[in-house]
Amino acid sequence: MASPILQVEDLVKRYGDVEAVRGVSFSVAEGEVFGLLGPNGAGKTSTVEVLEGLRVPDGGTISVCGLDPQKNPIALKNEIGATLQATSLPDKLRVNEAIRMFAGFYKRRRNVDELLQRFGLQEKRHAFYNQLSGGQKQRLALAMALVNDPKVLFLDEPTSGLDPQVRREIYDIIEELRREKKTIVLTTHYIEEAERLCDRVAIVDHGKVIALGSPRELKQKSEHTSRIEARFARPASNGTLKGLDGVNDAREVDGTYVLHCRKTAPAIVALVKHLEAENNELVSLEISTPSLEDVFIELTGRRLRD
């Protein structure tokens, strides 16, 4: 089996008394899209910034493209590309100037016109940075991250703060890169993003990897056999629903009650009887297999965005 292009073993990163990353370990194969999924403050960005050479680790060993980020920072720079959580450029810098400026930092460079075309920025090539929409700014950030044709691309929360339509546009770009077998490390707190884009996912919480595998593998390992989403005529008590036969957990999310069940049929029967006793009515009911959100709840006892 070929050696991984990225290897992390027992990574530790502290900020004063706060241990943001606590013994994180994982590897990434060449051509793989690998996701770090977890809530804000879980340690995802700190992990990625250490891999990029932007922060000094307090423990552990790291290899990216066969290089130690601290011992070989210049060589590493030419092998990786990155988008940060927030990209900020001078307001009056033009789009084509930004890409050419970044291209000047590297020995290996992509054709600027090809990048403009690929990311739908040809018509904006002479536009100032402050004239771009949020989606255009993110496409520009991706173009700059790819200007040196990197072996590993780091994307830190690439769709955070974008509206759903623009988010789907970025998904399409990442999926295209995935088909080209570009190695990508992606951080996200969006469940659907990890499920749609990633070959494998490390679920991170409080600075630790608490689960690792493909989205399918993680969901199959879940103890929950089903997820029931129900809407009622009147609000119900989560505490009461949790006590129903076959129900492990019950939570209200924007007016929808999400029940995690090991035994689906008894749970539905118990739910209907409970509603009848409460003089309440079932408006809708949907049964599905577990999601990565369910896996996270099972492992931590809370929702990803709690």
The CATH code of the domain at 6-220 is 3.40.50.300
Average pLDDT (232-250) is: 86
Give the confidence band of 306 by pLDDT, cuts at 50, 70, 90: low
| pLDDT tens digit sequence for 259-280 | 888 788 899 999 999 999 999 9
Percent residues over pLDDT 90 in the chain? 71
> Model-level pTM?
0.84
CA distance 12 to 34: 20
Residue 202 CA to chain centroid, in angstroms?
9
CATH number for 223-289: choose from 3.30.70.100, 3.40.50.620, 3.30.460.80, 3.40.50.300.
3.30.70.100
- The reported pLDDT for the residue numbered 199 is 96
Residue 164 CA to chain centroid, in angstroms?
15
Distance set, CA 277 to CA 239, 271, 280 (Å): 16, 10, 8
CA distance 6 to 62: 8
Average pLDDT (82-98) is: 91
- The reported pLDDT for the residue numbered 1 is 47
Which residues lie closer than 8 Å to 69 by C-beta, 6 or more apart? 50, 51, 52, 53, 62, 76
The encoded tokens of residue 82 equal 């990155």
* Least confident span in 28-37, 180-189, 285-294: 285-294
| pLDDT tens digit sequence for 134-169 | 899 999 999 999 999 999 999 999 998 888 888 999
In the chain, what are the domain boundaries?
A: 6-220, 223-289
Say if residue 176's pLDDT is above 50.
yes
- The reported pLDDT for the residue numbered 225 is 67
Average pLDDT (102-121) is: 92
